[in-house]
Amino acid sequence: MKRKKFIQTSAVAGIGAALMPNALMAEFSSKKSISIGFIGTGLRGQWLLDLAAKRKDVNIPAICDIDETMIRKAMKILKRNGRKEPQVYQNGDEDFNNLVNRDDLDGVIIATPWEWHAAMALAAMKAGKHVGTEVPAALSVKDCWSLVNASEQNRKFCMIMENVCYRRDVMAVLNMVRKGLLGELIHLQGGYQHDLREVKFNDGKQPYGGGVEFGKNGYSESKWRTNHSIERNGDLYPTHGVGPISSMLNINRGNRFEYITSTATQSRGLHNYILKHAGKDHPNAKVKFKLGDIVTSVIKCANGQTVVLSHDTNSPRPYSLNFRVQGTNGIWMRDNNSIYIEDVSHKPHYWEPFDSYQKKYDHPLWKAFSNDAEGAGHGGIDFFIMRAFIESIKRKVNPPIDVYDAVSMSVISPLSEESIENGSKPIKFPDFTNGKWKQNKPIFGLNDEY
Ligand SMILES: NC(=O)c1ccc[n+]([C@@H]2O[C@H](COP(=O)([O-])OP(=O)(O)OC[C@H]3O[C@@H](n4cnc5c(N)ncnc54)[C@H](O)[C@@H]3O)[C@@H](O)[C@H]2O)c1
Model pLDDT for residues 352-367, shown as the tens digit of each residue = 999 999 999 999 999 9
The Cα 129–Cα 329 span in angstroms is 45
Q: Is the pLDDT of residue 225 over 90?
A: yes
Radius of gyration for the alpha carbons in the chain, expressed in angstroms and rounded? 21
Q: How confident is the model at residue 422 (pLDDT cuts 50, 70, 90)?
A: very high
Query: 3-state secondary structure string, 148-188?
Result: HHHHHHHCCCEEECCHHHHCHHHHHHHHHHHCCCCCCEEEE
The per-residue pLDDT for 314 is 98
Ligand 1 proximity of 100 Cβ (cutoff 6 Å): no
Residue 143 has pLDDT above 70, yes or no: yes
Q: Which amino acid is at 240?
A: H
- Helix 403-410, helix 141-154: angle, nearest 10: 180
Report pLDDT for 415: 99
For residue 64, the ligand 1 atom closest to its alpha carbon is 33
pLDDT for position 15:
26
Distance of CA 412 from the midpoint of ligand 1 (Å): 20
Three state DSSP letters for 211-261: CCECHHHCCHHHHCHHHHHHHCCCCCCCHHHHHHHHHHHCECCCECEEEEE
Ligand 1 center–CA 221 separation, angstroms: 7
Q: What are phi and psi for residue 87, nearest 5 degrees?
A: -75, 135
- Please indicate whether residue 378, judged by its CB atom, sits closer than 6 Å to ligand 1: yes
Q: 89 Cβ partners below 8 Å, 6+ apart?
A: 62, 63, 64, 95, 96, 98, 99
Beta carbon of 66 within 6 Å of any ligand 1 atom:
yes
123 lines ligand 1 (CB under 6 A): no
Predicted local confidence at residue 8, as pLDDT: 32
Ligand 1 pocket test, candidate residues 112, 167, 378, 382, most atoms within 8 A of CB: 112
pLDDT tens, residue by residue, 314-343:
999 999 999 999 999 999 999 999 999 999
Q: Does 269 have pLDDT greater than 70?
A: yes
Give the pLDDT score at 256.
98
Residue 161 has pLDDT above 90, yes or no: yes
Q: What integer is the mean pLDDT of 6-16?
A: 30
For range 198-204, the mean pLDDT: 98
In degrees, rounded to 5, the angle at the alpha carbon of residue 136 between the alpha carbons of residues 106 and 39 is: 40
Q: Distance between CA atoms of 182 and 179, rounded to whole angstroms?
A: 8
Read off the pLDDT of each residue in 44-67 and give the average, rounded to a whole number. 97
Q: Are strands 107-110 and 130-133 parallel, antiparallel or unpaired?
A: parallel
pLDDT bracket for residue 27 (50, 70, 90) = very low
Q: Whose CA is nearest to atom 27 of ligand 1?
A: 112
Q: How much is the average pLDDT of 18-28?
A: 35
pLDDT digits (tens, 9 = 90+) for 387-415: 999 999 999 999 999 999 999 999 999 99
**Per-residue model confidence (pLDDT) at position 30:** 67
pLDDT band at 444 (very low <50, low <70, confident <90, very high): very high
Distance, in Å, from the CA atom of 261 to the CA atom of 298, rounded to the nearest integer, reads 5
Residue 89, strand partner residues: 64
Q: What is the pLDDT of residue 122?
A: 98
Confidence of residue 18 (pLDDT cuts 50, 70, 90): very low
Instruction: Compute the distance between CA of residue 388 and CA of residue 129 in angstroms, rounded to an integer.
Output: 16
Task: Please tell me if the CB atom of residue 119 comes closer than 6 angstroms to any atom of ligand 1.
Answer: no
Are the beta carbons of 394 and 34 closer than 8 angstroms? yes
Closest CA to 136 of 419, 433, 405: 405
CA dihedral 380, 383, 386, 392 (to 10 degrees): -110
For the segment 296-309, the average pLDDT, to the nearest whole number, is: 98
pLDDT of residue 7 exceeding 60, the answer is no
Count Cβ atoms within 10 A of the Cβ of residue 20 and give its class: 0-12 exposed, 13-18 middle, 19 or more buried.
Answer: middle
223 lines ligand 1 (CB under 6 A): yes
Residue 149 has pLDDT above 50, yes or no: yes
Say which range, 4-13, 59-68, 126-135, 370-379, has the weakest mean pLDDT.
4-13
